[in-house]
Amino acid sequence: MAVTPATREQPAIKGGKPVRDTLLPYGRQSITEEDIAAVVAVLRSDWLTTGPKVDEFEEAFAARVRASYAVSFSSGTAALHGAVFAADLKPGDEAITTPLTFAATANCVLYQGATPVFADVDETTLNLDPEKAAKCITSRTKALLPVDFAGHPADLDAFLALAEGHGLTVIEDAAHALGAEYRQRGVGGISHMTVFSFHPVKHLTTGEGGMVTTQNAKFAEKLRHFRNHGISSDARRRQSEGQWHYEMVALGYNYRLTDIGCALGLQQLPRLDANLARRRKIAKCYNDAFDGLTGVIVPRVRDDVNHAWHLYPIRIEANKFSAGRGELFRALRAENIGVNVHYIPVHLHPYYRDRFGFRGGEFPLAEQAYEEMISLPMFHGMNDQDVSDVIHALRKVVHAYAR
């Protein structure tokens, strides 16, 4: 891959020519003509929602991640809510999670009237640290909610051991980690419940959508009721059996994923391996290109995982530059590289500060990581020129601001 060597080029933010003429986003879906045809076929069929495509997608997905059950939801957030419900979290209960995640991970605990308890991250992987989580376990703890940050699986065996010892449920937020592996086992078949998101920037999309996978029949049944108003049978079965009777057995929601979305997901699933291979190749190009680049720390990966690379967050060593992370971020944007930041720690959002009294400083590793991180573009549709542009732009900006 031809990458312009490090030079003293004038950065675009200071009037130089940008590396690209158009913005390269940090993440993006890929849709083929076959995907479009599959969606159109559903539009011409009898079932737009909760029809045959839902069952087909759930079965194919469960087989892919080696889970006994897969229950689809209208979003990853709805799927998280379903998992927290299935784990029986109620007011007075607590779930331990990481502050370095999208707010939905913690919000779902609040939806059930329970309390999210944050523990700091592991310095290497930036995933919830099992030892710090263990210190937060009380008689009120019902669930552990690790997140596979950026696509790097959390230390699942450690969380399962903790759960075993304390009678807890492990709900893994794998919104970033479809296709990742932990100790040679696929994410989705390991935790008590694993939650995926099919938002367009993820490895597979249904527009909006999500899934919970589990090996536990009871969880699967509760998840199915919950996503359908708490009703114990579905409309298609009632129609085929020619009967009208149904019973609402729990307070649920309408969190159903449509046949339209499931047809898209079914089409995309067989491309997952190629998609992962491309992301892994891009990560390797970035790792090689940034090896030894002053002030830039590339993501660290444990030996016992196979990363899914939803995100590629670098860390900036502030003392090596004449400007802070914010200025470097803006400089990369000026080069038309669509960088992003993942994540503002959840406890620092005004809602969490106001409700729980967080002031900053509670979770120093997560907070420091947030201050230093920049997510570079990472999606399977990036071509070699896109990857070269990112490398060129980062080198250009680093050299322009290096002390």
Q: Which residues bind ligand PLP (CB under 6 A)?
A: 75-77, 80, 101-102, 104-105, 147, 173, 175-176, 197, 199, 210
Give the shortest CB-33-to-ligand PLP separation in angstroms.
25
Residue 80 or 262: the one with the smaller Cβ distance to ligand PLP is: 80
List C-alpha distances in Å: 397 to 251, 327, 383, 388. Answer: 53, 10, 22, 14
List C-alpha distances in Å: 366 to 98, 122, 172, 337. Answer: 8, 8, 19, 25
Bridge partners (DSSP) of residue 258 are 49
Residue 18 or 209: the one with the smaller Cβ distance to ligand PLP is: 209
Residue 35 or 148: the one with the smaller Cβ distance to ligand PLP is: 148
Q: What angle do CA 189, 281, 21 make, to 5 degrees?
A: 120
Residue 29 or 75: the one with the smaller Cβ distance to ligand PLP is: 75
Give the shortest CB-343-to-ligand PLP separation in angstroms.
8
Q: What angle do CA 221, 226, 230 make, to 5 degrees?
A: 100
Give the shortest CB-209-to-ligand PLP separation in angstroms.
7
Inter-residue contact 213 to 61 (CB < 8 Å): yes
Residue 35 or 208: the one with the smaller Cβ distance to ligand PLP is: 208
- Both tokens of 278, joined, read 């491309």
Residue 12 or 75: the one with the smaller Cβ distance to ligand PLP is: 75
Lookup result for tokens 């994410």 = 187
Number of neighbours of residue 354 by Cβ within 10 angstroms: 9
Give the shortest CB-401-to-ligand PLP separation in angstroms.
29
Inter-residue contact 336 to 20 (CB < 8 Å): yes
Number of neighbours of residue 63 by Cβ within 10 angstroms: 11
Bridge partners (DSSP) of residue 308 are none
SS3 402: strand
Residue 208 or 335: the one with the smaller Cβ distance to ligand PLP is: 208
Q: What angle do CA 262, 39, 72 make, to 5 degrees?
A: 10
Helices (H), 269-363: 272-290, 325-334, 350-356
Q: Is the dihedral of CA 6, 9, 13, 19 positive or negative?
A: negative
Told to judge if 222 belongs to the known catalytic residues of this protein, a careful annotator would answer no
Active-site entry in 14, 53, 135, 202: 202
CA 170 to mean position of chain CA atoms? 16
Give the shortest CB-186-to-ligand PLP separation in angstroms.
18
Integer Cα distance of 288 and 344 in angstroms: 28
Please name the amino acid found at residue 161: A
Give the shortest CB-201-to-ligand PLP separation in angstroms.
7
Give the shortest CB-80-to-ligand PLP separation in angstroms.
6
The residue sitting closest to ligand PLP, measured at its beta carbon, is 76
Annotated active-site positions, please?
202
